[in-house]
Structure 1
Amino acid sequence: MEEQEDRIVVGLDIGTTKVCAVVASIDPQDRIHILGVGKASNEGLNRGVVVNIDKTVNAIKTAVEQAQLASGIEVNSVNVGIAGDHIRSMRSKGVITINNKDNEITVDDVERLLEDCQRIMLPTDQQILHVIPQEFVVDGQDGISDPVGMSGMRMEAEVHIITGLVSAAKNIYRCVERAGYQVADIILEPLASSYSVLDDEEKEAGVVLVDIGGGTTDVAIFQDNTIRHTAVIAIAGKKVTDDIRMGLSVLDDQAEKLKCNHGEAYIDLIEEDEAITVPGIAGRPPKEITKSILGKIIQARMEEILEIVAIETKRSGYADALSAGVVLSGGGSLIKNICPLANEVLGMDAKVGKPMGLSGGLTEEVNNPIFATGVGLVMHAIKTGSGPQNQAIVPSSTKGSSVEKVMERLADRMKSWFKEL
């Protein structure tokens, strides 16, 4: 029966302002169907990091239960995203000799080499989340993306290593487990978002993905089909709301409504400078503000975010090799005229990215930049083969050696990279 062969995968995007759960199935033809979506507001995170376990657990339960109800599938384990300004990325190199008969490079040799690349000094509070091969060099011949099956005596590699705080990852595990689910995998959010909103042509030509969330803005730079640079910036949509609240002396939810309903990111493009009435606080008379005043507040903060993105792009060394420009996603990309502003600040073409590559199910419901990470987590799990939802790779206890768990997970991931290539 075909139904038996469908794999079920669940993505859980634990954000600063909301939690999104996406339940999807993948059929034997590798088509992805969205079966259920759940969303709940969350106050348990600050700038992408868990600060209140109980609030986060409740938000996870609400979102996953909604997705379960829509899909009619019981969720056991989830693929979770991680962000926060504790995320660091670095480059590392490694070298090994090939000493089997025929000097043929095997998958085991590649794993041994990638392990060698991980011999880096890390602070005790940091752990490796992802090791992404950039290129391999066999006997001095560079530019190799998949060396398996080639002959050679000496193999070198350059990798992109992404690390995060051990405590931040443990707190995410703890929240998910307290909500009653297991963690199948933990994935960097900008990496996950890239699976759902970028196509292969963009990744090859060179592109910057900017996911403007509630608490963090995630940046991922791709070139030649490989992720070249990642960064997480601790300024995002929540800061814009705070600016409106402070600048116009309104309540937090009023500021959020003003931003979503009337906000524009580029004041030069405001067509009608109409007045907006804001209810007064605690019986005080209502007040009027103009669209351009609101726009000035939003534009100032959005410009700051995009300027930091420009700095990260320069730091990556790929600023001149990004032909596909910039793709914006996340809730912050919904602010009107964000693309012309990004175009001006970054000096490249900008577009808003929505989840794509879905075959059926609730595709309309997730056709929104807000779901970029949730859908991306599902796609990442499918592409890297981190198992059906009923088989959690990571043990449910957060006790024991986190290094061992990470190494186990990396070994699984490495095998899947070479299936992909």
Structure 2
Amino acid sequence: MPKEIINIGLDIGSDTIKILGAFREGNNNLYRIKFFEEADSLGFFKGRIKDENDLAKAVKDLLERVKERYNIDVETVMVNISGDKLEVFNNSASVSVGSANEKVTELDKERVEEDVKNVALGNNKSILRVFPREWKLDNEKDIVDPLGLQGIRLELDASIMTCFSGDKEALEKVIKSTGIDIEDIVPTPFADATLLLDNSQKELGVALVNIGFGTTSLIVYEDGKLLDLIVFPVGSSNITNDIAVGLKTEIHIAEKIKKDFGITLPSSKKIEVKLDSGGKLVFSERELRNIVAPRVSEIFSDLINKRLKKIGKEGKLPAGIILTGGGAKLKGIEDFAKKEFKLPCKIGYPENFIGFDKKDPSYSTVCGLILLGDDFEEDIPSSNKIKKWIKEFFSNFKP
């Protein structure tokens, strides 16, 4: 009997690199983890590759650890791409229905989906994803799926997600140098949304905010459609830096203070932290709050809310704000967000992965990549599926 088909996600972040292998249990939405490893990130910061060799070494070391601990040779991965050069814009295209009976076929849909990509991108831009917003047939609007309907002119309004070509090429070069193939390159916010947002939230209107180590991303949906996406070059590392400067202490001590105490109350209660020298760093909860709260407020108000205001959605998202990413583990951030956004807010984390014991929002992206791996399997041509099944089948007979 063939082995389970394992989907593998590789999440490259500014703080850590995570690799996860998991397979779906039967026909339900539960995934069982086959392996998981993470390591400190090298050569990568604020969503962009800074040193290809350092990053390639970090990824290769992680792959070797998977081989050593689980006896699994990783061959292909779903990998994320991020950075403040991710952009979304809208475009439309139309084609004549090709069949003699004037019924829309899959080929018609594929033709218009290709035509909608024909747009002047400018220099150094690459298309990552096309998200259908609305299908129209002979000017009949709001068609969910035109397949099989009768008409003459098929039109598609779509959101197109792009990245900086240099970032994509550098990522491909790094992964190729490790000896594995890329199954698909996925924008980080889309991986997060795939895992954490359901259709009802997307219909009502929702914003998903990923506070990473080096960046913060925002993706917004309404009426079931992608409305906006942006990545800011500010993350939880900025909070750590502020604590280090404000309390005049080392970065690793500041990181520990951030993780242990988060957004404290404005009280005079004293906090004592042991130093490597054997001494103590003493400060009040109010002092710490006066350092941490302004930076979090900057992320929420000056960046996220300002963007929501620009698209006319400030305070107008019934499904609220979902916070995820490592920065969402900051103590007190959920209540702080509710006050800043004046909307329902909650922390989003993987819930349908058997093997993750803790509710950790820093795992959202890598788990989202696993779900998208399933979608990728369904979308690839049947001949490729057969080849992959044969490969999986005969791997059972290897000594």
| TM-score by shorter chain over 0.5 | yes
In structure 2, distance between residues paired with 1:221 and 1:296: 30
Give the 3-state SS of the residue equivalent to 2:42 in structure 1.
Answer: coil
- Supply the distance in 2 between the matched residues of 1:150 and 1:232 (Cα, whole angstroms): 39
What is the deviation of 1:206? 1.8
1:353 to 348, 353, 363: 348
Query: Helix, strand or coil: the match of 1:161?
Result: strand
Out of 352, 357, 367, the residue aligned to residue 364 of structure 1 is 357
In structure 1, give the amino acid aligned to 2:377: G
TM-score, reference length from structure 1: 0.84
How does 1:225-304 map onto structure 2 within 5 Å? 225-264=224-263, 267-268=265-266, 273-277=269-273, 279=275, 286-304=280-298
1:85 maps to 84
Q: Displacement, 1:380?
A: 1.1
Quick one: distance in 2 between partners of 1:290 and 1:340? 21
Amino acid aligned to 2:322: V
Q: Secondary structure at the match of 2:88?
A: strand
CA distance in 1 between partners of 2:322 and 2:346 (Å): 5
Give me the whole-angstrom Cα distance separating, in 2, the residues matched to 1:19 and 1:12.
Answer: 7
316, 320, 327: which one pairs with 1:325?
320
Separation in 2, partners of 1:318, 1:337:
25
Structure 1: distance between partners of 2:336 and 2:274:
27
In structure 2, the CA distance between the partners of 1:70 and 1:375, relative to structure 1 (3 Å rule), is: farther
Range moving further from structure 2, 149-158 or 71-80: 71-80
Aligned partners of 1:212 and 1:328 also within 8 Å: yes
Q: Mark the CA change 1:299 to 1:62 in structure 2 (over 3 Å): closer, same or farther.
A: farther
Distance 1:343 1:14 in 2: 29
Which amino acid in 2 is paired with 1:300? Answer: P
1:113 maps to a residue whose letter is V
Could you say which residue in structure 1 is the equivalent of 2:395? none
Spell out, residue by residue over 1:32-80, the C-alpha distance to the aligned partner (whole angstroms, 9 max, x if none). 2111111111131121101022321232234344445555432111110
The 5 A counterparts of 1:5-404 are: 6-29=4-27, 31-68=30-67, 71-264=70-263, 267-268=265-266, 273-277=269-273, 279=275, 286-307=280-301, 308-319=303-314, 322-358=317-353, 360=354, 362-364=355-357, 367-385=359-377
Other structure's SS at 1:96 match: strand
Question: Offset of 1:310 from its aligned partner?
Answer: 1.3
CA RMSD across the alignment: 2.4
Q: What per-residue deviation string (whole Å, max 9, x for no partner) do you get for residues 394-420 of structure 1?
A: xxxxxxxxxxxxxxxxxxxxxxxxxxx
Shift of 1:87: 0.8
Runs of 4+ in 1 over 3 A off after TM superposition: 62-72, 283-287, 315-321
**CA distance in 1: counterparts of 2:334 and 2:371, whole angstroms:** 26
Conserved in 2, the CA contact under 8 Å of 1:216 and 1:234?
Answer: yes
Q: 1:64 to 1:198 in 2, by over 3 A?
A: farther
One-letter amino acid matched to 1:276: E
Name the counterpart of 2:391. Answer: none
**Aligned-residue offset at 1:337:** 1.2
Distance 1:209 1:77 in 2: 28
Shift of 1:233: 1.1
Q: Secondary structure of the equivalent of 1:103?
A: coil
CA displacement at 1:317 relative to structure 2? 4.1
TM-score, scaled relative to structure 2: 0.89
The change in CA–CA distance for 1:287 and 1:179 in structure 2 (over 3 A counts) is same
Partner SS, residue 136 of structure 1: strand
* d(CA) in 2 for partners of 1:43, 1:50: 9
Deviation per CA, 1:17-38, whole angstroms, max 9, x where unpaired? 1101111113552542111111
Shift of 1:231: 1.1
Give 1:189 deviation, angstroms. 0.3
Give the unaligned 5+ runs of structure 2.
386-399
- Provide the C-alpha distance between the structure 1 equivalents of 2:372 and 2:238, rounded to a whole number of angstroms: 29
Partner amino acid for 1:376? G
Compute the displacement of 1:166 (Å).
0.8
Tell me how far 1:284 sits from its aligned partner: 9.5
Percent of aligned pairs with the same amino acid: 26
Cα shift readout 1:141-195 (whole Å, capped 9, x = no counterpart):
1111211111111122111111101111111112222223211110000100112
CA distance in 2, matches of 1:62, 1:347: 44
Tell me the residue number matched to 2:396: none
Is the 2:272–2:280 Cα contact (8 Å) retained in structure 1? no
Report the count of equivalent residues: 381
How has the CA–CA distance of structure 1 residues 69 and 369 changed in structure 2, closer, same or farther, with 3 Å as cutoff? farther
Task: Name the SS for the 1:101 alignment partner.
Answer: coil
Distance in 2 of aligned mates of 1:91 and 1:376: 24
Q: 2-side partners of 1:209 and 1:253: how far apart?
A: 29
